Amino acid sequence: MLEKQVLSLYLRGNLQLGKTVFTPAVFSRTIGSVQTNWSSKQLQWTQNIALSSMKPYFQGSKWSTRRYATETKSPETQVKSPPESKEAVGKHVENTPAKPSKKSLWQRFKGGVIHFWDGTKLLGAEITISSKLVYKMAVGYELTRRESRQLTRTVKDMGRLLPFSMFVIIPFAELLLPVAIKFFPNLLPSTYEDPKDKQAKKERLRKTRSEVSNFLRKTMKAGKFSISDETRESKEFKDFFHKVRYSKEKPTREELINVCKFFHDDITLDNLSRAQLVAMCRYMNLGAFGTEPMLRYNLRSRMRQICKDDRAIYIEGITSLSVPELLNACNSRGIRTHGQSTASLREELSVWLDMRLVHGIPSAILMLSNAFSYGFAEDTFESRWDALMDTLASLPDELYHETVVDMPSQDVSNKQRLEVLREQEELIEEEAEHETSNPADAKRRAADDKADTIVPPKSEK
């Protein structure tokens, strides 16, 4: 019975190989060869089973008998290089990550050419759209916030094309283009910017804002003014700072709003030191080079832009902003965006608009509040109002004293005015050390806070 089964298996194997069918006449002569082949097949199956347990000799998806035979012939080699353990070999074979293939020089050159070509087409499309917006504005229609941002971005890109075109006009100047872009990353229009460069800029800005937040907390808390009868402007003003400085009693929100209105943008910026002005410019992603009047002018210009944008968002509604526009709006106001959900960002922006437009809190105080609380953990302050209160408690002496004198009251003595005048003289002397000559900056001062305040409509009872 066994011989018949073996013969049938053997015959099927031969038939698959194209051999002729065996007849009963040759059965007796075939039995011997069948038994011989059967024993050889058993030996081959045994070797395959033995090799299947030898993982060090695994190559690809098949077992390498040639490598096994080669290594077993020389026992000296086994002594010099002992085989690894099964666990180490398994980890090496199964968990070895595939190394990313490095792009060749031609692939990188081709990718750069494609990127610049796509950026050129995008710039052409933006110019076409912006030309329609210019015609719309010339006819007399008012542009929406999104259209205004589109037109502003295109105008800036067109201004950057002038120095960029010099590398194309001057012979062999394009060889210096990579060096120029390395040292001046804002030389190219925004359509040519690489996504990796955008992410790197965000990371640098996030790191810079954390450093600025720590610096402002140290410098602003260094000098703490004392509240006495000679330096108080009114009972409300004195009681508020007495609560936030010396008492554990928490002022009400109405008291906080009334006190914040006295710190106008001009007074706040004029009484910040040069180091604090540089820190604020870095926090707002502005250029930190130049004299102190130039730094104050840049900060005032940015705050006027933010105030104009606040009114546009307030009229159109926060829900009209897309997610990228929401991130850009929060980022321009110094609001933390990393790790925040869309709902929390909309809530933060809504609180900003409510404090800025409805309650009339100056932009400089709000910006200082954002910078002051940026380095803290998310659960440090219960709300934006608590961060604002902590910022007022850490204001410099000069800002507090000048605010007291600037308040409309008849209780300020000449002695107090003399002290404030001496403090301002010290600030002027410090400015003179950093500058040689500067244009008059007094004409730039304007009370924009009252004009920007939007009074909410009264609810009909």
- Measuring CA to CA, which residue among 16, 374, 46 is closest to residue 348? 374
What lies within 8 Å, CB to CB, of 374 at 6+ separation is 209, 210, 212, 213, 283, 334, 336
**Structural domain boundaries in the chain:** 1-49, 119-192, 204-452
Residues 41-52 have a mean pLDDT of 52
The predicted model gives 113-138 an average pLDDT of 86
Q: What is the mean pLDDT of residues 298-306?
A: 90
Residue where the block lists tokens 């052409």: 124
Q: Over range 281-286, report the average pLDDT.
A: 86
What distances in angstroms separate CA 173 from CA 105, 179, 183, 285, one per listed residue?
A: 21, 11, 16, 30
Q: pTM of the prediction?
A: 0.54
Helices (H) and strands (E) in the chain, counts: 21, 2
- In sequence order, what are the residues at sequence separation of 6 or more whose Cβ sits closer than 8 angstroms to the Cβ of residue 241? 227, 259, 392, 393, 400
68 burial (CB, 10 Å; 0-12 / 13-18 / 19+) is: middle
Q: How would residue 237 be classed by pLDDT, with cut points 50, 70 and 90?
A: low
Rg (CA), the chain: 39
Cα 235 → chain centroid: 45
Q: Residues near 439 by Cβ (< 8 Å), separated by ≥ 6?
A: 293
Query: What percent of the chain has a predicted confidence (pLDDT) above 90?
Result: 2
Could you tell me the pLDDT band of residue 391, with boundaries at 50, 70 and 90?
A: confident
Q: What is the pLDDT of residues 56-78, one digit of tens each?
A: 444 444 444 444 444 444 444 44
Report how far residue 260's alpha carbon sits from residue 240's, in angstroms, rounded to the nearest whole number.
11
Q: Residue 272: pLDDT above 50?
A: yes
3-state secondary structure of 63: strand
d(CA 7, CA 10): 5
Q: What is the mean pLDDT of residues 93-110?
A: 65
Asked if the model's pLDDT at residue 440 lies above 60, the reply is: no
CA dihedral 405, 408, 412, 418 (to 10 degrees): 30
**Does residue 303 surpass a pLDDT of 50?**
yes
The amino acid present at 128, given as its one-letter code, is: T
